[in-house]
Amino acid sequence: METQRIIEFPHKNMDKRPRKRQRLTWDMPPPVPPPKVLPAPYCGQEFGNGQVPNYAYPSMYCRGAPRVGSPPWRPDDKDGHYVFSIGECLTPRYRILSKMGEGTFGQVLECLDSEKKEVVAIKIVRSISKYREAAMIEIDVLQRLARHDIGGTRCVQIRNWFDYRNHICIVFEKLGPSLYDFLRKNSYRSFPIDLVREFARQLLESVAFMHELRLIHTDLKPENILLVSSEFIRVPDHKFLSRSAKDGSYFKNLPKSAAIKLIDFGSTTSEHQDHSYIVSTRHYRAPEVILGLGWNYPCDLWSVGCILVELCSGEALFQTHENLEHLAMMEKVLGPLPQHMILRADRRAEKYFRRGVQLDWPQGATSRESMRAVWKLLRLPCSSFEMFYAEPDNAAR
């Protein structure tokens, strides 16, 4: 009887814009090669929940008859993604129903749990060492969150995890679409302000919950906030009532339930870890990260602010992929960057400033399109950088 070391989570690759940042880039050895003995099919055996086994061990394969419901062994694709067919099983317990999404980490599949008779989402991580190790760190964070999230109302709940054919698989409760997915399918039409307020309340409570556990999410964005339910209603959109009834665009969808949960804890860090590297997806990245000042809990709150503006307007506030343009957009919305932040900027960020005291804009703009992208933004009334980034000595007092 053949065996394989086993040890079971979701994320959609839906945006056409390159919103995702690179994941952890530790120097890792190449992935464990597939077994050379191929004539017989292979399957794995679940460890289930409990202590995480030593995930540095290679997967173990041996010749023998397949377990009931297991598909024949087949090699991964060239990028280390698990190759599957709809209707096959991930271990005899989980039957694949559909593919929900794909990302740099791997794939997310909708599966039927034959033991609990429920539909779950399973994140299948690529069979590459750095992604396997990042997945094990994520599992540790998920289990820690689950122990403290009484009622499971703030963060997605991990159901199980296993290591199947050299792929870490994380089993989650199946939730509804992400807020970004809902916006996209709604033609990027904004949510009602009362609904945004409810989203904001839950989002801030969830972030505060993580911070109380000394955890920093570092990758908050609409893609990583999921509605609990997929149900929605269609209501008239008064902004489009002048259009033809045949168009159908004067209707928009609204979620039946405002309940949301956070997902994707693969980049979550603890308070005591190194905070000098680049974090957050570009559109939601805080200025202290760009300036190389080091970051902490406030970087999550900056992301929350950007998210709420996007939910109110239907589009990302800072639609850029370049640091100088990003800083110029921030100044257009919030006024000049505080001098104490500019003076403490990392050496790599000094090139963005003239004489070390003023942002090199628009002189440093790379194109007219870049200049127009900044000019079209509106100043946020009754708000400034000083309200959020007090000088360190003043903050201490």
Report the catalytic residues.
219
Longest CA pairwise span in the chain (Å): 72
**Bridge partners for 110 per DSSP:** 98, 121
**CA dist list (Å): 137 to 20, 134, 141, 142, 285:** 19, 5, 6, 9, 23
Q: In whole angstroms, give the CA distance from residue 236 to residue 254.
A: 10
- Contact status, residue 193 vs residue 203, Cβ threshold 8 Å: no
Burial of 56 (0-12, 13-18, 19+ CB in 10 A): exposed
* 159 residue type, one letter: R
Phi-psi region of 165 (alpha: psi -120 to 50; beta: other; left: phi over 0): left
The tokens of 37 are what?
A: 């003995």
At 371, list the tokens: 């200049």
Residue labelled with tokens 């998920």 = 142
DSSP code, position 16: S
For tokens 């679409």, the residue is 177
The gap from C-alpha 8 to its chain's centroid, in whole angstroms, comes to 18
Q: How is residue 329 written in tokens?
A: 């957009």
**Nearest-5° angle of CA 133, CA 136, CA 138?**
110
Question: What is the identity of the amino acid at 300?
Answer: D
HEC readout, 180-221: HHHHHHCCCCCCCHHHHHHHHHHHHHHHHHHHHCCEECCCCC
Instruction: Tokens for 189, please give them.
Output: 């039409």
Q: CA 119 to CA 122: how far, in whole Å?
A: 10
Check residue 32 and give left, alpha or beta (phi > 0: left; psi -120 to 50: alpha): beta
